[in-house]
Amino acid sequence: MSIVSLSTGEPTCTFEDVKAIAGANGFTIPPGSVDETAFHLFANAFDATCEAVSGLPEYEDPRLKPVAVDGGERKYYRPDANENPLNAWAHKTTLKASDAKGPLSGRTIAVKDNVSVGGLPLGLGCSPSLLKDGKHPISPIDAVVVQRLLAAGATIKGTATCENLSMFALSYTSHSGVVHNAWLPGYATGGSSSGCGALVSIGDVEEARRSGKDSKDYSLGEGVDMAVGGDQGGSIRLPAAYSGIYGLKPTHGLIPYTGIAALNPLIDHTGPMTRTIEDAALMLGVMAGYDGIDPRMTPESPMPDKVPNYAGDLQAWVAEKDKVGEWSAEGAAKGLRIGILKESFDVVGLDPSVADIVKAAAERFRSLSAEVNEISVPLHKHGAAIWTIAARPMMPHFVGGNPPDLLSHTMPHLQPNPINQNYFDTLAHRNPAAVNVLMNAAHMQRKYGPSLARKAHSHVWELRAAYDKALEEVDVLLTPCNNTVGPKQPASTAKTEENANGFSERLMDLFEPAIGNTLNTCSFNVTGHPAMSMPVGWGKVKEGGGRLPVGMQVVAKRWDEANIFRVARAWEVGGRWVDS
């Protein structure tokens, strides 16, 4: 009996199929040969195995079953422009776990539109034409972070607009249109967690209005206390910097990424975006900890019951300093060692005024009695290049819906269509960066083969070691986060009678404002160090009148988020950023 008859009884692969399969691997099998007959048999046996798995029903891991919520049924809607003037909401809902009480009780949260929330669409900021059946899937699962936030008493108010496929650092590539900065509509709020940045910052804008510090009266819509962002190269920290809030990319592997659409496990991170440093610490404590599913987590990742009490530890540290008379504008940072990363001020595109604001913010630590020194990490200037080459080849792999090499939960409900002409036509003038990723990966393979990515991975270890060595001398490294204040939304995104969808053929108008935005952020995605953007002042916009926030990035040793929180909290004793 043949192998085929053991499986299906009838061959499904022809000799032409065998020829094509061999050609795809760069070789030929002599036609009519014994070899061809054998591999034809093997191909049919393998195809029968494929069909056996293809016929199985989709499996939904019971560990990701949606949390029971008040009211039972999960309902959602897409808010109109009157309710959503900043275009920061993807979908709105109200989800609160039944009888849940915890540290986030009474707090409202939005999650980036690449995070699975059971019963809600998973939009990814992209056209539904890029997905199976031309529809955004309704998620049958709750991401682990969603489960944990609901269990801690939080109320999830909806999903926040994100940039197209999470592949842009500004806020005008989403399929739903531009996301406006809450401080100054018409200007970018940063990406790719653009809606998260806008929604969290609404509370600060409203407070500024109540206190008379902001006289503008444009509509903002409903905001939230906190948000769950995603970060592969700066996509939490940049919108936080542009929006004047706190955005933490935690240590790689500290928070499980299970149930969140990936770009590359090497660089995937999720983390809190909040109005205060205390809320960032509180939210991290809820979200962190091993989940038994995510391969990004390692033996270094703490079990849930071993996650530090970041908020409590910060409170205790402040109390101890207050007890000894140090919690003052003269002594709050005493004992902290601050490093100003020299090379971070030499990156291309850094606005001199932004550099001056960050330097002044860093120098404040001297008056707070910290030890402040300039630290040089020469390899930092190559960090963005190392990140690009190390991560780029695998990104098309995930955009195309392929699973990673290590076992993980692959979100079977999310099935992208094959990358083809429709992909290019849909994205080239909406988010050219998403097309460029494919072009880059193909160029690398065609010209260099896999050796270049392997080399870049070895330099990731070198880069991590370089930062580690610097962090032996200091507790944190400080860098600029956003190179400029939020730029004006490109004219080519404006809706006109001739251009109803709001995007023209001026492709470079979209690309140019984002060039260089991640030069100080992306290297910490490959090295895994925790990095947070904190607001430290105002910068003037270039076009017209107005001002927008400037962020300073604080980087610590891996697994040392506690020092990031301490440094930021001590800085605030010298005065809040909004008053600068």
pLDDT in tens, 430-444: 999 999 999 999 999
Alpha helix stretches (DSSP H) within 502-546: 507-511, 523-527
Q: What helix, strand, coil percent values describe the chain, rounded to 5?
A: 40, 15, 45
Q: Which two tokens stand for residue 73?
A: 């049924």
Task: Give per-residue pLDDT as tens, 267-280.
Answer: 999 999 999 999 99
Give, for 550, the enclosing helix (H) or strand (E): strand 547-556
Considering the candidates 139, 174, 235, 523, report the single residue annotated as catalytic: 235
Question: What does residue 339 show for φ and ψ, rounded to 5 degrees?
Answer: -115, 125
pLDDT at 509: 82
Residue 165 clears pLDDT 50, i.e. is over it: yes
Please tell me whether residue 186 adopts helix, strand or coil conformation.
strand
Distance in angstroms (rounded) separating the CA atoms of residues 89 and 381: 36
Chain centre distance of CA 178: 18
pLDDT at 104: 98
Distance in angstroms (rounded) separating the CA atoms of residues 535 and 572: 10
- Report the percentage of the chain scoring pLDDT > 90: 87
In degrees to the nearest 10, what's the CA dihedral of 348, 352, 353, 354?
A: 30
State the average pLDDT over residues 456-474: 98
Please tell me whether residue 274 adopts helix, strand or coil conformation.
strand
Task: Find tokens 């809606």 and name the residue.
Answer: 195
State the average pLDDT over residues 113-142: 97
Exposure of 385 by Cβ count < 10 A (0-12 exposed, 13-18 middle, 19+ buried)?
Answer: middle
CB 79 within 8 A of CB 94: no
Q: Which residue spans within 31-149 are E strands per DSSP?
A: 89-96, 108-112
Mean pLDDT (the chain) is 94
Q: Which residue spans within 97-137 are E strands per DSSP?
A: 108-112
Considering the candidates 112, 157, 249, 321, report the single residue annotated as catalytic: 112
pTM of the model: 0.95
Query: Rounded to whole angstroms, what are the CA distances from 167 to 192, 261, 433, 459?
Result: 6, 12, 6, 24
Strands 155-160 and 226-231, bridge-based pairing: unpaired
Q: What are the residues whose beta carbons fall under 8 Å from the beta carbon of 344, sequence distance 6 or more?
A: 380, 478, 479, 480, 520, 553
pLDDT at 4: 40
Task: Find tokens 């001026």 and name the residue.
Answer: 506
Residue 235 is among the residues annotated as catalytic for this protein: yes
pLDDT at 505: 58
State which amino acid sits at residue 187.
Y
pLDDT at 404: 87
Per-residue DSSP letter, 432: H
Question: What does residue 109 show for φ and ψ, rounded to 5 degrees?
Answer: -135, 140
Task: Give per-residue pLDDT as tens, 356-382.
Answer: 999 999 999 999 999 999 999 999 999
CB 534 within 8 A of CB 246: yes
Residue 447 is among the residues annotated as catalytic for this protein: no
Task: Give per-residue pLDDT as tens, 7-18.
Answer: 445 778 999 999
Topology adopted by domain 89-404+414-579: Amidase signature (AS) enzymes (3.90.1300)
Considering the candidates 176, 192, 243, 301, report the single residue annotated as catalytic: 192
Exposure of 479 by Cβ count < 10 A (0-12 exposed, 13-18 middle, 19+ buried)?
Answer: buried
Length reported for the chain? 580
Residue 192 is among the residues annotated as catalytic for this protein: yes
Residue 543 clears pLDDT 90, i.e. is over it: no
CB 74 within 8 A of CB 95: yes
pLDDT at 125: 98
Within 13 Å and on the Cβ side, how many CA atoms surround 427? Answer: 28
Residue boundaries of the structural domains of the chain: 3-54, 89-404+414-579
Strands 155-160 and 108-112, bridge-based pairing: parallel
Task: Give per-residue pLDDT as tens, 229-243.
Answer: 999 999 999 999 999
Q: Put residue 185 in one of left, alpha, beta given phi > 0 → left and psi -120 to 50 → alpha.
A: beta
